[in-house]
Amino acid sequence: MALWSEMQAAPKTGELMGDSTGEQFGEIVRDYAPKPGVSWRFGRPNYARVNKTYFENRTKKHPEGSLESVVSMVVKNWEVDSHHVLKPSDWKTMNIDNFKISVNGGPKASAQTMADVGPYVALLGDIPNIFYASQNTFASTNKIFSEVFPEGFAWECLEVYQGPPKVTFKWRHFGKFTGKWVAPDGTEYKGTGEMVNVEGICIATVDDNLMIDELEIYYNPLDQILPMLKGAKTAAPAPAAGGYLGMCQSPAVNRDVTG
């Protein structure tokens, strides 16, 4: 995840920043090359911060050419597409006409739906009184989690259980909660410095060129959210007439699904 504040000041087109590859740490972990003229959703991402978090806190270093290293590269490149490339027609890691993504056996969202709502909304869902994905947008969730994890929220492949075409692997998402978390009722929780660890399983259906047709993800979303409630909290200010914006009844995005 590249940081919201940095992207806002970045150009909307062009190649990834050079330090996004990981080369400065002695290892290429992301080799994404955008299509000519690509439009970045929020600004050109720079992965320097999240790479630092990744290299300093990963638990596995896989041999070059191993299934784990290949999966890691594919997923990190997929993250560039799904988070940062504006138009699905410019995505390079997915077969967008067939692509589907689901969480814990739930409804399957299309490429266009994911482009509309964003991965955080698609993958976290609604957690009553804690986080309402349906009341957030692609932009708001990127801003929220950039503020939670100002040093980046990194990802690593832990182990591959089965190779293509149905690649089954265990993964870990991790980052230090050094920022702030604002709950739907406006209560603000100060970062504890704790390393937040989220682990799960993914079944990725790919073609002969490792283009992704489907992602079936299994994990507990509470593993990402509950650690943030441990921070020192500041009570929300008194709500204006009409209540908190975060608790409105109408979802911000219409989450149509396929399949």
pLDDT classification of 16: cutoffs 50, 70, 90: confident
pLDDT classification of 243: cutoffs 50, 70, 90: very low
Q: How do 166-176 and 154-162 pair as beta strands?
A: antiparallel
* Interatomic CA distance for residues 132 and 126, integer angstroms: 4
pLDDT classification of 2: cutoffs 50, 70, 90: low
Does residue 259 lie in a domain region? no
User: Average pLDDT, stretch 33-51?
Assistant: 93
* Interatomic CA distance for residues 188 and 177, integer angstroms: 13
pLDDT classification of 80: cutoffs 50, 70, 90: very high
Interval 181-213: pLDDT, tens = 999 989 999 999 999 999 999 999 999 999 999
H-helix or E-strand spanning residue 182:
strand 180-182
pLDDT at 11: 60
Range of the domain at 76: 4-235
* Interatomic CA distance for residues 143 and 146, integer angstroms: 5
pLDDT at 182: 93
pLDDT classification of 15: cutoffs 50, 70, 90: confident
Does residue 242 lie in a domain region? no
Interval 97-127: pLDDT, tens = 999 999 999 999 999 999 999 999 999 999 9
Which residues, in sequence order, are bridge partners of residue 101?
109, 215
pLDDT at 4: 45
| pTM greater than the 0.95 cutoff | no
Find the CATH number of the domain harbouring 82: 3.10.450.50
Interval 123-144: pLDDT, tens = 999 998 889 999 999 999 999 9
H-helix or E-strand spanning residue 95:
none
The count of structural domains within the chain is: 1
CB neighbour class for 162 (10 Å; exposed up to 12, middle 13-18, buried from 19)? exposed
Per the prediction, the chain carries an average pLDDT of: 88
CA dihedral 22, 111, 220, 194 (to 10 degrees): 30
DSSP secondary structure string, 72-108? HHHHHHHHHHHHHBS-GGG-SSB-TTT-EEEETT-PB
Locate 174 and state its tokens.
């991790």
Does residue 244 lie in a domain region? no
Does residue 102 lie in a domain region? yes
User: Average pLDDT, stretch 51-76?
Assistant: 97
Does residue 166 lie in a domain region? yes
Helix (H, G, I), strand (E, B) or coil at 25: helix
* Interatomic CA distance for residues 5 and 42, integer angstroms: 10
pLDDT classification of 12: cutoffs 50, 70, 90: low
Does residue 85 lie in a domain region? yes
Does residue 40 lie in a domain region? yes
Does residue 89 lie in a domain region? yes
Angular region, 141: left φ>0, alpha ψ -120 to 50, beta rest: alpha
User: Average pLDDT, stretch 241-251?
Assistant: 38
User: Average pLDDT, stretch 26-33?
Assistant: 95
